[in-house]
């Protein structure tokens, strides 16, 4: 059943997840979002497109999450001075998405007074001029743009003894680049302001020079640590457009790959969290277990991180009975190792002292910020797209949602342990019940202008791909959306009042993607 949005006629989008769309005017754009916000829904993604070569002007889309599923509101904007009603008062996470949409397409969010709440660039650091919008269709795919000055007004905190600590973009570890501006008094953080966008490499523009088939590879490289989630979300969107469903064996194998990606990342994070908490033993043990898992991925699936194993129409790998037995056996061993390491982590007073109450994000703040995924679950919000609304094959696997309400680093550790155990249980179920059938089915034609959506619960949170097909089997527009869009602002809140030396630990406990949001 379609979500009820007053005055808005929703039309179903074909595909594996419940999703609807509607063209709206500026008034309904706003009232529709208000209705969703007041009913406890949230904003999943917001992106803009250049439609001057088709319907005319520009467009902006808001993808909303309601109880029933996704609702995509589409607002057409005029060619001259395109502006749309600001959503950042309803959904805090909209702010950065709106800034990115302006940088790329030149459509402006305006509040009732006609002002843009935050007019600073987000992705534009001076690599192109402020009157050029690279995602417009008159900018050629391989074009080089003239650079501009790179200035950015960080919010200043004034007062006795307040000073700033700038960190990055090149960080003091093996980490992705980004800039953190701390305003501190003594050791305590009064305010953290993130500036991201350093990795912006024109992914959305690149999509538009690829065929729908080729683009699957690019989707799998938006955020390498979530390659399975992205590849699946992309395939889901394209399969919806092509009006096909992958076979049962293929979706079971996809779930197997996704759960192994979840386990690998959780193992890596649990080790790094132990290390940042002063327990180097944890890093040694968990990185050993992760390596064991990656090596078996390489043996069975021919890629350590499972890149390009999920393909449009199905999967590009298989598990024979011998490999299934080996994976099951390894899963049992891993569960036993995890149990012993969990006991060590939970008993270690030094580690617990660092993690309990550190970097707390209360359930209320989490809700106000609209955060998602693992971090939301550790702050009392038991949301998981595998369980609700669910998509094949998870309906028959009945995954359990791990949750905790403390919202601190310790809670995010607990949720990771619980999810790793649950993923191992799911792996066992999948391998025991693996149905026979074809691995990859032909896709069929994608109609010019067709629209599809993929929605997959990756290890970090929900990964969404919105895909518009163009003429001749090309990508017209693709917006891949990482859960880090929602969760980066939450990190700014979680560190308030904590000491600066705890920042690495808090940051790691979220472990957000820079590549996924910089695009």
Partner 1 sequence: MHKILLKIAQVGLRSEPPPPADEVLRQGAARLNEEVLRLLGRALAIRHVDAGSCNGCELEIHALNNPYYNLEGLGIKFVASPRHADLLLVTGPVSRNMEEALRRTYDATPGPKLVVAVGDCGCDGGIFGENYASRGRAANVIPVDVAVPGCPPAPAAIMQAIVTAVTPVAAVKR
Check residue 439 for interaction with partner 1 (CB under 8 A): no
Strand, helix or coil for residue 260: helix
CB-nearer residue toward partner 1: 206 or 428: 206
Check residue 491 for interaction with partner 1 (CB under 8 A): no
Check residue 386 for interaction with partner 1 (CB under 8 A): no
- Beta strands 108-110 and 83-85: pairing type? parallel
Check residue 498 for interaction with partner 1 (CB under 8 A): no
With CB under 8 A as the contact rule, the residue among 144, 149, 153, 320 that binds partner 1 is: 144
Phi, psi torsion values for 466, nearest 5 degrees? -110, 125
CB 208 within 8 A of CB 471: no
Give CA 319 to chain center in angstroms.
28
Q: Spell out the alpha helix ranges (H) of 404-499.
A: 409-433, 484-494
At closest approach, how far in Å is the CB of 373 from partner 1?
Answer: 16
At closest approach, how far in Å is the CB of 347 from partner 1?
Answer: 7
Check residue 330 for interaction with partner 1 (CB under 8 A): no
With CB under 8 A as the contact rule, the residue among 142, 161, 442, 472 that binds partner 1 is: 142
The DSSP bridge partners found for residue 110 are 85
CB 136 within 8 A of CB 105: yes
Q: Which of residues 300-329 bind partner 1 (CB under 8 A)?
A: 304-305, 307
At closest approach, how far in Å is the CB of 498 from partner 1?
Answer: 21
**Structure-token pair, residue 75:** 């607002």
CB 249 within 8 A of CB 316: no
Distance CA 246, CA 421 (A): 28
Q: Which of residues 153-192 bind partner 1 (CB under 8 A)?
A: 169-170, 172-177
Considering just the CA atoms, what is the radius of gyration of the chain in Å? Answer: 22
Q: Which of residues 229-288 bind partner 1 (CB under 8 A)?
A: 268, 281, 284-285, 287-288
- Each residue 192-231 as x (binds partner 1 by CB under 8 A) or -, in order, gives -----xxxxxxx-xx----------xx--xxxxx-x----
Phi, psi torsion values for 39, nearest 5 degrees? -90, 10
Query: How many residues form the binding site for partner 1 (CB under 8 A)?
Result: 59
Distance CA 449, CA 476 (A): 8
Spatial neighbors of 94 by CB under 8 A, at least 6 apart, are 43, 46, 62, 86, 87, 88, 109
At closest approach, how far in Å is the CB of 283 from partner 1?
Answer: 8
CB-nearer residue toward partner 1: 213 or 362: 213
Check residue 7 for interaction with partner 1 (CB under 8 A): no
CB-nearer residue toward partner 1: 176 or 318: 176
At closest approach, how far in Å is the CB of 143 from partner 1?
Answer: 5
At closest approach, how far in Å is the CB of 328 from partner 1?
Answer: 22
Distance CA 486, CA 460 (A): 11
Distance CA 305, CA 91 (A): 34
Tell me which residues touch partner 1 (CB under 8 A): 123, 125, 127-128, 134, 139, 141-145, 147, 169-170, 172-177, 197-203, 205-206, 217-218, 221-225, 227, 268, 281, 284-285, 287-288, 290-291, 294, 298, 304-305, 307, 340-341, 343-344, 347, 513-515, 518
């Amino acid at each position: 059943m379609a979500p009820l949005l007053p005055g808005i006629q929703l039309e179903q989008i074909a595909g594996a997840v419940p999703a609807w769309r509607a063209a709206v005017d500026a008034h309904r754009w706003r009232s529709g979002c208000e209705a969703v916000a007041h009913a406890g829904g949230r904003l999943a993604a917001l992106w803009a497109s250049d439609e001057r070569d088709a319907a005319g002007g520009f467009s902006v889309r808001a993808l909303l999450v309601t109880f029933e599923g996704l609702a995509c509101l589409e607002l057409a904007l005029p060619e001259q001075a395109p502006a749309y009603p600001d959503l950042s008062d309803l959904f805090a996470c909209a702010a950065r998405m709106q800034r990115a949409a302006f940088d790329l397409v030149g459509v402006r969010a305006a509040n009732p007074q006609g002002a843009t709440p935050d007019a600073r660039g987000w992705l534009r650091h001076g690599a192109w001029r402020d009157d050029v919008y690279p995602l417009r269709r008159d900018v050629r795919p391989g074009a080089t743009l003239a650079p501009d000055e790179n200035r950015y007004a960080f919010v200043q905190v004034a007062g006795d003894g307040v000073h700033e600590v700038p960190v990055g973009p090149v960080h003091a570890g093996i980490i992705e680049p980004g800039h953190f501006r701390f305003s501190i008094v003594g050791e305590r953080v009064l305010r953290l302001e993130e500036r991201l966008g350093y990795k912006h490499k024109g992914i959305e523009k690149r999509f538009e020079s690829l065929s729908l088939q080729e683009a699957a590879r690019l989707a799998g490289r938006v955020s390498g640590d979530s390659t399975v989630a992205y590849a699946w979300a992309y395939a889901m969107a394209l399969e919806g457009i092509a009006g096909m469903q992958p076979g049962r064996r293929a979706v079971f194998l996809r779930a197997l790959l996704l759960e192994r990606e979840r386990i690998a990342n959780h193992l890596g994070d649990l080790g790094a969290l132990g290390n940042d908490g002063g327990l180097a033993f944890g890093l040694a043990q968990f990185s050993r277990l992760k390596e064991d898992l990656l090596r078996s991925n390489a043996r069975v699936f021919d890629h350590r991180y499972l890149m390009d194993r999920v393909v449009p129409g199905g999967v590009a790998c298989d598990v024979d009975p011998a490999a299934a037995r080996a994976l099951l056996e390894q899963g049992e061993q891993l569960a036993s190792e995890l149990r012993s390491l969990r006991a060590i982590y939970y008993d270690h007073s030094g580690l617990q002292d660092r993690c309990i109450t550190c970097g707390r994000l209360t359930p209320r703040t989490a809700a106000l910020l609209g955060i998602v995924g693992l971090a939301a679950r550790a702050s009392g919000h038991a949301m998981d797209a595998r369980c609700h609304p669910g998509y094949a094959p998870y309906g028959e696997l009945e995954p359990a949602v791990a949750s905790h309400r403390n919202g601190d680093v310790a809670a995010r550790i607990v949720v990771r342990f619980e999810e790793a155990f649950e993923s191992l249980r799911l792996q066992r179920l999948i391998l025991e019940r693996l149905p026979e059938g074809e691995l990859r089915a032909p896709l069929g034609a994608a109609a010019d202008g067709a629209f599809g959506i993929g929605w997959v619960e990756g290890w970090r949170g929900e990964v969404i791909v919105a895909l518009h097909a163009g003429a001749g089997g090309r990508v017209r527009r693709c917006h891949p959306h990482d859960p880090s869009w929602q969760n980066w602002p939450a990190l700014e809140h979680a560190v308030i009042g904590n000491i600066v030396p705890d920042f690495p630990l808090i940051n790691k406990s979220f472990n957000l993607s820079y590549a996924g949001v910089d695009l």
